[in-house]
Each structure stands twice: as C-alpha cells, then as structure tokens.
Structure 1
Amino acid sequence: MGRSDNKHEDILCAAISEFGEKGMMATTMESIAVQAGVSKRTLYKHYPCKENLLDDVVSLLLKRVEPLKNITFNPHQPLLDQLRTIGEKTLHLICDEDYLRLSRIIIIESMRCEKAAKLLNQKFSDCEKQLYNWFSQASEAGVLGNIEPGLAATLFYGAIKEAAYWDQVAQWKPMLDKAQGKVLIDRICQFFIDGVQQSE
C-alpha cells in the first residue's frame, strides 16, 4: 500500500508497516505519524491510541476475506469447476503482501494477549463461515461422498494455506507466482475430487 491524498489511508498504511516490522508493543504513535507524513496531532485526531488503530488494521484484513463470504454451491455446475474457483479466490487473497503483513500482526497480538486472541478468532470464524457453509451445501447435494463437510472444508482450505500461506507468514518465504499457484490449485482440486470418489 502506497501513499495517497487521503490522510486516513496514509495512517493505516503506516500502521500496517510499523506494526508489521515491530509489533504493536514496540511501535509508537510518533513513528506511525512520521511514516504517514502527518503530525502527531492529526494522528491523534483520527486515533486516540494504538489499540483503536489496530482495530482498524484488523478490520482492513477482514474486508479482504470478503470474496470468501460470497460463495454459494451451484448444483448445476461441476464440482471441480467450483473447487477451482474457491481455490483461486483463496490463493489470490493469501498471496497478497498486505494480507500477509496484517496476518503477522494479528498472529503476534493473539500470542501476546488471550483476550485479543479470542476476539480475533471469533472475527475470523465469522468471515470463514460461508466457506464451510459451501461444503455443507455440497454435502447436502450429495457430491462429497461420505466425507463430513466440516472435515472437507478443513482439508481443502488447509491444504492451500499450508502450501502458500504459513511458510510465507512465519518464515518469510517468497509468495507463489501465477504459474506455481495454478499448479497448486489444480493438484489440490484433483486430489480432493479423487478422495471424494474413493469415499463413495
């Protein structure tokens, strides 16, 4: 995220950068103001404390999960095609540098504070609920064989995140390029379809 003509957006960009590098505890309101190119007075006008700023940073991340909230099972479309669409949306989301940076911030804060962890986990579970609903709808339509829908969602979503998210978040490994991402999604979708067919 770069500088803009909107001071509020510049503050959020600066907060993402500072929190991502230093964590919330080591980040100061002064460093955020400097990074954003605004006065401390302007910063405090928008945010009276770091906690309020972190809340907006988290909200920004959750908005990026929106594409996963708008999926609905289509009984007239092949399962493989629908899985590819979900996989591509998921991969596009988690291969976003800002999303990875924000994820690191949230993981650190969750480890630092139990209360924060519970709140963040609740927000994330709400955002990912539709993804699990899709697998429930697919199960009701009889296309998942004998695989329990919750397990199916966890296996599918978890396989993508394991290959293209956790190493990037925790070990700062490079993001997959477009060709690598396509191969990954194709393999996971085909593996999933094969597993469904074997369970029937």
Structure 2
Amino acid sequence: MTKKPRQKPGRPKDLEKKQAVLDAAKSLFLSQGYDATSMDAIAQAAGVSKLTLYSHFSDKDNLFSQSVRSHCEAQMPSELFRLKPDQDIAEQLGSIAKALVALIYDPEAVALHRLIIAASQKDNRLAHLFFDAGPKRMLGELNSLLRAACDAGYLVIPDTEQAADEFFCLVKGLRHMRILTGCSEVPASLHELTHLESALALFLKAYRA
C-alpha cells in the first residue's frame, strides 16, 4: 500500500491566516483609506500577530499589491485566459468579458477605484501598485490568449498588445466612468449591460480570421 505524502505541519493554518490578513487589509483600506490604515490595525483585525503579518507581507505596499492581485485572480483566474481548442474563440472572449464586468462593477472594486483616484492627487505611487497588481496582469494574460488564438488561426491581429487594450476598453464602456464619477448607479444585474454583445461583435469583426 502506497503511503500518501505527509503535508507540512501548519501549512493550511498559514494559508488561512494569510487570507485573513488579505481580507482585513481590503476592508480597512476601503473603509479608512490607505494612509490611515496601519499594519498594526490590519494585524488586529485579522486576529494575527505582527510577526505572522510580516512573515507573509514585507510591508504595507506589498500587502496592498497582493490584496489587489488576490481579488482579481479570484474573479478572473489564469485558467480563464488559456486557449480552449474545443471552444469557439467568441465564446471564450465572451466569458472573459462577463468576468471583467462582474469584477469592475463590484461595489468593492468601484470603491477601490475611487480610493486610487483620490490618493493620486497627492501621490501616484498607489496607482502604480494597483495597476501592476490588477489591470497590467489581466492585460498580459489576454495578450497571451490573443497570441495563441492567432497562432491557432482563429484570429488575425497585427498587434495583440494593442488589441488587448482595445478589448478591455470596449467591454468597460462609458458607463464605467459614469459610475466612478457618481453619474450612474452600479447595475443591479449584468443583464443590464446590453453593450457587451455589440462590443464583442465589433472586436471580432476587426480581428476574426
């Protein structure tokens, strides 16, 4: 009988503590603002020691970056961007579009965008941390998917990096800016976002083989 490999002691507990810190950090950043949130307050809210906190995150900037990345990866995992030969490319891009709007129209995401905009009036360092941990990672993932789709003959795109940027802009639409500026309400349902179908059709009309 083959013995199962033993798990390292404490590993599940460590992951639970790390997630508790990420959850606490996200909550405090949104409610109190980045500058007003201390690492001590995050450790207390997460129910962990400062030693545990710093064993996972070197500083507050690193914690902020990882909390953004964790939230984005939960909503839009890397698997979503892997080319699926058994699925029409239109269907896969449609799934990405729906996941994106679910992410950016989430009330917490809207609040985070507003936090970034407000903080950027004094210092754009936080904006760079946010962009690198969230949008930049998703643009890179989509760029890789578009290149793979071109190699497979599904799409013909001269500049996949530019096309990835165009795709996200089309999917976000003008309503996202209206929501961020308080000119429109967050949609109660994704079914209200009637522009998704036409945005996808426009993208495919330009680049489908």
Q: TM-score, normalised by structure 2?
A: 0.66
Amino acid at match of 1:100: V
- The higher relative CO (CA closer than 8 Å, separation ≥ 6) is in 1
Match runs of 1:69-80 below 5 Å = 69-70=78-79, 71-80=81-90
Matched, 1:173 2:197: no
2:146 aligns to what? Answer: 135
CA distance in 2, matches of 1:64, 1:83: 21
Cα 1:166–1:69 change in 2 (3 A) is: farther
Query: Is the Cα–Cα contact under 8 Å of residues 100 and 169 in structure 1 kept in the other structure?
Result: yes
Provide the secondary structure at the position in 1 that maps to 2:85. coil
1:43, CA displacement in angstroms?
Answer: 10
- Contact 2:26/2:67 (8 A) holds in 1: no
Q: What is the root-mean-square deviation in Å for CA atoms of aligned residues?
A: 3.7
Q: 1:84 to 1:101 in 2, by over 3 A?
A: same
2:67 maps to which residue? 60
AA of the residue aligned to 2:105: C
> Comparing both structures, which one devotes a greater share of its residues to helix?
1
Paired residues for 1:1-200 under 5 Å:
11-12=24-25, 14-19=27-32, 23-25=33-35, 27=36, 52=59, 55-66=62-73, 67-70=76-79, 71-124=81-134, 125-171=136-182, 173-176=184-187, 177-181=189-193, 183-197=194-208
Superimposed CA distance per residue, residues 39-89 of structure 1 (whole angstroms, 9 cap, x where no aligned partner): xxx9989889xxx55653443222122125322112332121111111111
CA distance in 2, matches of 1:144, 1:68: 23
TM-score by length of 1: 0.68
AA aligned opposite 2:191? A
Contact 1:69 1:131 in 2 (8 A): no
Q: Percent identity?
A: 17
Deviation at residue 97 of structure 1 after TM alignment? 0.7
Report how many aligned residue pairs link the two structures: 181
1:147 Cα deviation from its structure 2 partner: 4.4
